[in-house]
C-alpha cells in the first residue's frame, strides 16, 4: 500500500484533506456534554386526572397504563408517581443498547391499547409520551422585579405565550412549568349538598356538560333557498369564564319547578390551580420553566438557542418582567471542555518541543506534527459514526493519543533518513525501501496498543458506558495515526527534495552538462551550493539520482552542518566504511570533521578503474560566486563556459582520466561530487585532502563581503605496495 501512495503523492494529500473535512463537519454536529451518557435511555408518560385523589389516579390511570406496557423490547424497569393533584408520571427505563427512538414508538403503540380503558377526563386532557433525560439541564424564570405582577399572572403568561414556543426549540426534550396558574375554584358546602340531595359527581357532571362549546348549526348553509347571501355559524353556548357564569350552572330542578344552581351550594372564585407550592426568586414573584435535554442533543447549542429565543421575546413581555436563569449546567460543561481543549493544545506544543529537542531537525519535527490535526479531526469523524459525543473523557483520550500518534510518523521519518544516510539512496527510493521495512512493524504496534484498550469497551453497566467512549476514541486515533503514517508522512519526506534542485542534479549525468545551483545568502543556512558530475568514457550513467543531499557544508567560524542524520553516527559509520573499503572519507583540516559521501556514489568510485592520483591535480575548481571568479589547477576553466566543457570532454576522450570529480567551495560552503567506473577488486586505495585559500579577484570583491575563497582537492590514490 505504501508504494501506491509514494507514486501518487497528490492522491495521498487528497485522502488527508478528505479525512480532515469529514472530521470538521462531524465536529460541528457532535453533541457536547460534560460526561458520556451513563444513564440508560428512558421514555416518560404523563397524564392528568383533574380532581382525583392520588389513590384514585393510581387505580384508574397508573395501573391501567402499566399493565399494557408489557412485551416491549429491552425494557429494564418502570416506575410511576401519582399525586393528589391528579398528575401521573410513568418513567420506563431501557437497556443501554436500546434505541431511544424505537423505544418511544413501542411505548406509544402500547399506550394506544390502554387509552380506551382510561377515564373520560384523562382522555380529554390527553396523554403525552416523550424521550428525554431524567435531569433538567436548565431552568429559566420570569421574575416581576417591581412585584406588581403576581406569580399566578406570571404562570398564566408563561403557559399561554412561552411554553409551546420554547418546547419546539431544537434540542429541548421536555418542558415543565414551576408555578400554579389561575383556575376557577369551587368550594362546595357539604350541608347544602345534603339538603338538596346532591353528590359531588352531580356537580362534576353539570359543570362538564354546561361548560362546553355547543354549536347550534349554520345559517344559510346548503341546501339554501334561492337568493340566500348570508352564511354564518351559530354557537348556542361557549365556555364559561367568570364566577357569575359558573354560579348560574343548573344542578337540579325540583318538583315544584324551583331550580338549584351551583352558587346555591358552593362559593365560586378565581384562585390558584394549586396551593402546594409558591414560586419566588430573591423574594419576588416568579415562575420557572425547567428544560430537559432531548436524547443526543448538544447541551451547549441548546442552551444558546434557548437564551437567544428568550432574548427575542423579552421586548414583548409585560413591563417589569425580566428573564433569569437560576439553574444552568452548561457553564460547567463549557468550562470542562475548554480546559481539556487547553490541555490538548499544550500537549501538542510540548510534543513538538520534545521532538525538536531530540531530533534537532525542524523538517523531521514538522512531518510528525502534520499528522496531529489530520488524526484528531479524523477521530471526530469516528466519534460521529459511533454515536458518541464530545465530552471530558473523549477529549482526554485525544490528549493521551497525541503522544502515541506521532510515534508512527517519527519512526517513518527516522528510518527514511537512516536509509538515505547509510545507503546513499535518493529520498523516493529510500522511502520505498524504508516503508517496506517498517510497514509491518507500524501495524503491529497499533494492534498491540489496541489490544490493551479495546477490552475496556466491553465492560458492562455504567462502567462500560464510561470507558467505552474513552477506549474506542483512543483506538481510533491510533489506527488513524498508522494510516496517516503510511499514506501522508512518507510523502512529505521527498516531495520538496524531488523538486527543481533534484531534477537538475538527476539530469547532470544524463545530459553531460554541468549546472550550477545557487542558494541565496541569508535565506538558507547553506550560503551557496555548487556541484557537477560529468560522464566520461567510463559511461557512468546512474540509474537513480546520486545527489539527494549535499555531503557537508562549512559555514562561518568553521562550523560543520549536516543536512540529515546524526553527525557523530555518520563519522563512526565513515570510519567503519574506511576500514571495510566501502567508502572514501576526507578529513577537514579545521575541526576534525569528516566529509562522508553517499555510499552508492563511493561504491561507483571505488569500483572504477582509476589511475594513481586520478583526482588529485585533475580537478576543476570554482568559487561559489559565479562565472567571473574561478580557482583551478591543471584542468583550468570555468565550468559554466563551453570551453571548459570541451576541455573536460576532450580529457575523457583522450584518456587523460577515466573519471571526473569536482570539489567546489565557496566562502561559506563546501560540496563534493565524484564519479568513476569499475576497478579490480584486489586494488587498495587511499584518500587525501588538500585545502587552499585564494584571494578573490577585484571584480568579485565588489559583490562579496569576503576577500578570500577557500578551495580544496579530494584525492583518491591507488596503493602501490
pLDDT tier for residue 618 given thresholds of 50, 70 and 90: very low
Residue 275 pLDDT class (50, 70, 90 cuts): confident
Which pLDDT does position 589 carry in this prediction?
Answer: 22
Cβ count within 10 A of residue 218 = 12
> How far apart are alpha carbons 106 and 109 in whole angstroms?
5
Q: Which of 252-266, 478-492, 591-605, 666-680 has the highest mean pLDDT?
A: 252-266
Residue 541 has pLDDT above 60, yes or no: no
Q: Where are the alpha helices (DSSP H) in 518-590?
A: 567-580
CB atoms within 10 A of CB 22: 17
Summarised one tens digit per residue, pLDDT across range 152-174 is: 888 888 988 898 899 889 888 88
pLDDT score at 61: 92
pLDDT of residue 431: 80
Average pLDDT in the 484-507 region? 53
pLDDT confidence of residue 457: 82
pLDDT for residue 699 = 52
Evaluate if residue 308 carries a pLDDT over 90: yes
Q: Which of 143-152, 284-293, 356-365 has the lowest mean pLDDT?
A: 356-365
* Distance of alpha carbon 257 from alpha carbon 252, whole angstroms: 10
Q: How far apart are the C-alpha atoms of 393 and 401, rounded to whole Å?
A: 12
- Residue 78 forms beta bridges with which residues? 92
| pLDDT score recorded for residue 254 | 84
Average pLDDT in the 356-379 region? 83
Report the chain's C-alpha Rg in angstroms. 44
Stretch 115-128: mean pLDDT, rounded?
A: 88
At residue 586, the pLDDT reads 31
Highest-confidence segment of 185-194, 400-409, 547-556, 591-600: 185-194
Band (324; pLDDT cuts 50, 70, 90): very high
pLDDT of residue 656: 39
pLDDT value of residue 44: 87
Pairing between strand 284-293 and 280-281?
Answer: antiparallel
What are the grid coordinates assigned to 424, written together? 546513499
Percent of the chain with pLDDT over 70: 66
Percentage of the chain exceeding pLDDT 90 = 10
Burial of 295: CB neighbours in 10 Å, binned 0-12, 13-18, 19+:
buried
Residue 662: per-residue pLDDT: 33
Asked whether the predicted pLDDT for residue 528 surpasses 80, the reply is no
- Whether 605 has a pLDDT exceeding 60, the answer reads no
DSSP 8-state assignment for residue 498: T
Q: Are 364 and 417 in contact (CB under 8 A)?
A: yes
Q: Report the range of poorest mean pLDDT among 109-113, 346-350, 453-457, 534-538.
A: 534-538
* pLDDT higher than 80, residue 647: no
| The C-alpha cell that represents 441 in the structure block | 512493524
Is-above-0.75 flag for pTM?
Answer: no
pLDDT of residue 267: 92
Mean pLDDT on 244-272? 89
**What is the mean predicted confidence (pLDDT) over 271-288?**
83
Cβ atoms of residues 633 and 713 within 8 Å? yes
DSSP β-bridge partners for residue 176: 290
Q: Which residue has the higher pLDDT, 439 or 618?
A: 439
The residue-averaged pLDDT of 558-578 equals 41
Domains and CATH numbers, the chain: 10-29+333-494 (1.20.1640.10), 40-132 (3.30.70.1430), 500-718 (no CATH)
- pLDDT at position 492: 59
**How many C-alpha atoms does 600 have within 13 Å on its Cβ side?**
19
If you average pLDDT over every residue of the chain, what do you get? 69
Dihedral over alpha carbons 584, 589, 592, 595 (to 10 degrees): -30
Measured CA to CA, the distance from residue 671 to residue 563 in angstroms comes to 12
pLDDT band per the 50, 70, 90 thresholds, residue 697:
low
Amino acid at each position: 500500500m505504501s508504494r501506491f501512495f509514494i507514486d501518487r503523492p497528490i492522491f495521498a494529500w487528497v485522502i488527508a484533506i478528505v479525512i480532515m473535512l469529514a472530521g470538521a463537519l462531524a465536529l460541528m454536529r457532535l453533541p457536547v456534554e460534560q460526561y458520556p451518557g451513563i444513564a440508560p435511555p428512558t421514555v416518560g408518560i404523563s397524564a392528568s386526572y383533574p380532581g382525583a385523589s392520588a389513590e384514585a389516579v393510581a387505580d384508574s390511570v397508573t395501573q391501567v397504563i402499566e399493565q399494557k406496557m408489557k412485551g416491549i423490547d429491552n425494557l429494564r424497569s418502570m416506575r410511576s408517581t401519582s399525586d393528589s393533584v391528579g398528575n401521573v408520571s410513568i418513567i420506563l427505563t431501557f437497556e443501554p443498547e436500546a434505541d431511544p427512538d424505537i423505544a418511544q414508538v413501542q411505548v406509544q403503540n402500547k399506550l394506544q391499547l390502554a387509552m380506551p380503558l382510561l377515564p373520560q377526563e384523562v382522555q380529554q386532557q390527553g396523554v403525552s409520551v416523550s424521550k428525554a433525560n431524567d435531569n433538567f439541564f436548565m431552568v429559566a424564570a420570569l421574575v416581576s422585579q417591581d412585584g406588581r405582577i403576581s406569580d399566578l399572572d406570571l404562570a398564566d403568561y408563561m403557559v399561554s405565550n412561552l411554553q409551546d414556543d420554547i418546547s419546539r426549540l431544537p434540542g429541548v426534550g421536555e418542558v415543565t412549568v414551576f408555578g400554579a396558574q389561575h383556575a376557577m375554584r369551587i368550594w362546595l358546602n357539604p350541608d347544602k349538598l345534603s339538603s338538596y340531595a346532591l353528590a359531588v359527581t352531580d356537580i362534576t357532571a353539570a359543570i362538564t356538560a354546561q361548560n362546553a362549546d355547543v354549536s347550534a348549526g349554520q345559517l344559510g348553509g346548503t341546501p339554501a333557498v334561492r337568493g340566500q347571501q348570508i352564511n354564518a355559524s351559530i354557537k348556542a353556548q361557549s365556555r364559561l369564564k367568570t364566577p357569575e357564569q359558573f354560579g348560574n350552572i343548573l344542578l337540579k330542578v325540583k318538583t315544584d319547578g324551583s331550580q338549584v344552581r351551583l352558587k346555591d351550594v358552593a362559593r365560586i372564585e378565581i384562585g390558584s390551580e394549586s396551593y402546594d407550592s409558591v414560586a419566588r426568586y430573591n423574594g419576588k414573584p416568579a415562575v420557572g420553566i425547567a428544560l430537559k435535554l432531548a436524547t443526543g442533543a448538544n447541551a451547549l447549542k441548546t442552551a444558546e438557542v434557548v437564551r437567544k429565543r428568550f432574548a427575542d421575546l423579552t421586548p414583548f413581555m409585560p413591563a417589569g418582567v425580566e428573564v433569569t436563569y437560576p439553574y444552568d449546567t452548561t457553564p460547567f460543561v463549557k468550562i470542562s471542555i475548554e480546559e481539556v481543549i487547553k490541555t490538548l493544545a499544550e500537549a501538542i506544543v510540548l510534543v513538538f518541543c520534545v521532538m525538536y529537542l531530540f531530533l534537532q531537525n525542524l523538517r523531521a519535527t514538522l512531518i510528525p506534527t502534520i499528522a496531529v490535526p489530520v488524526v484528531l479531526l479524523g477521530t471526530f469523524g469516528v466519534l460521529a459514526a459511533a454515536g458518541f459525543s464530545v465530552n471530558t473523557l473523549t477529549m482526554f483520550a485525544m490528549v493521551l493519543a497525541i503522544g502515541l500518534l506521532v510515534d508512527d510518523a517519527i519512526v517513518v521519518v527516522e528510518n527514511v533518513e537512516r536509509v538515505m544516510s547509510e545507503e546513499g539512496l535518493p529520498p523516493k527510493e529510500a522511502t520505498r525501501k524504508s516503508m517496506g521495512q517498517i510497514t509491518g512493524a507500524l501495524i503491529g504496534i497499533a494492534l498491540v496498543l489496541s489490544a490493551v484498550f479495546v477490552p475496556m469497551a466491553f465492560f458492562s453497566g455504567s462502567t462500560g458506558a464510561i470507558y467505552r467512549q474513552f477506549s474506542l476514541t483512543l483506538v481510533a486515533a491510533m489506527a488513524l495515526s498508522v494510516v496517516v503514517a503510511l499514506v501522508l508522512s512518507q510523502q512529505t519526506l521527498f516531495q520538496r527534495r524531488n523538486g527543481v534542485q533534484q531534477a537538475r542534479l538527476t539530469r547532470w549525468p544524463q545530459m553531460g552538462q554541468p549546472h550550477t545551483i545557487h542558494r541565496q545568502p541569508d535565506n538558507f543556512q547553506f550560503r551557496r551550493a555548487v556541484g557537477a558530475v560529468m560522464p566520461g568514457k567510463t559511461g557512468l550513467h546512474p540509474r537513480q539520482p546520486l545527489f539527494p543531499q549535499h555531503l557537508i557544508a562549512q559555514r562561518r567560524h568553521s562550523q560543520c552542518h549536516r543536512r540529515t542524520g546524526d553527525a557523530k553516527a555518520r563519522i563512526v559509520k565513515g570510519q567503519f566504511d574506511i576500514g571495510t573499503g566501502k567508502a572514501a572519507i576526507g578529513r577537514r583540516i579545521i575541526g576534525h570533521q569528516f566529509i562522508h559521501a553517499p555510499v552508492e556514489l563511493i561504491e561507483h568510485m571505488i569500483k572504477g578503474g582509476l589511475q594513481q592520483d586520478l583526482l588529485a591535480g585533475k580537478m576543476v575548481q570554482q568559487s561559489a560566486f559565479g562565472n567571473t571568479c574561478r580557482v583551478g589547477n591543471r584542468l583550468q576553466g570555468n565550468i559554466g563556459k563551453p570551453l571548459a566543457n570541451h576541455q573536460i570532454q576532450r580529457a575523457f576522450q583522450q584518456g587523460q582520466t577515466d573519471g571526473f570529480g569536482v570539489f567546489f567551495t565557496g566562502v561559506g560552503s563546501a560540496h563534493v561530487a565524484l564519479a568513476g567506473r569499475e576497478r579490480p577488486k584486489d586494488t587498495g586505495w587511499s584518500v587525501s585532502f588538500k585545502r587552499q585559500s585564494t584571494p578573490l579577484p577585484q571584480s568579485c570583491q565588489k559583490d562579496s563581503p569576503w576577500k578570500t575563497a577557500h578551495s580544496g582537492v579530494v584525492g583518491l590514490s591507488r596503493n602501490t605496495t
